[in-house]
Amino acid sequence: PRGFVMSALLRLSALPLLCALSLPAQAQLLSQKSISAAMAVTMVQTAIDTCKTNGFAVSATVVGRAGEVIAQVRGDGTGPHTVENSFRKAYTSRTFRISSGEWTKNLANNPTRGPQFLTNVIALQGALPIKVGEETIGALGVSGAPGGEKDEVCVQAALDKVADQLK
């Protein structure tokens, strides 16, 4: 009987330890930086204004962490497709955490990674990721200039405008 009691006590004393080990380690909320609406509006307007100064009518879209639209403006005199293309470029850049132009080059080298399998992904230059350090928190896409490299110049100007806030 004494051995039985000692064995039972030993098992019971180990129970709290086993319960503690089965709980998730450090279950807590995430802390992350996100793009504010005001910053997104500044970026969209700066991109549109920069392209306008360069002689191009464009639309611009800022997407956040999950690829959701934070700000989107169809520029004056732009074609109807430019809103969708600016979004898809931004979404592509956010998804892959690289410029949409770099994604286009990667795709040319490996066509099996094709965008035909992913909704909203497009192989066109004109978007850059928005980063805080190495963390991608969104992307800005522009569409409407004659060539994605010209769209990207306007995106870079917008990112430069808010660079001091991306820390």
pTM: 0.82
pLDDT tens track for 93-103: 999 999 999 99
Confidence bin at 8 (pLDDT 50/70/90)? low
Quick one: 29 exposed, middle or buried, by C-beta within 10 A (0-12, 13-18, 19+)?
Answer: exposed
Q: How far apart (Å, rounded) are the C-alpha atoms in residues 134 and 136?
A: 6
What would the mean pLDDT of 140-147 be, rounded to a whole number?
Answer: 98
> What's the mean per-residue pLDDT of the chain?
89
Four-residue CA torsion sign, 123, 65, 146, 78: positive
Q: Span 122-134, mean pLDDT?
A: 96
For 14-68, how does the pLDDT look when each residue is reduced to its tens digit (9 = 90+)? 555 555 555 566 789 998 999 999 999 999 999 999 999 999 999 999 999 999 9
Residue appearing with tokens 């769209």: 151
Place of tokens 């991109």: 47
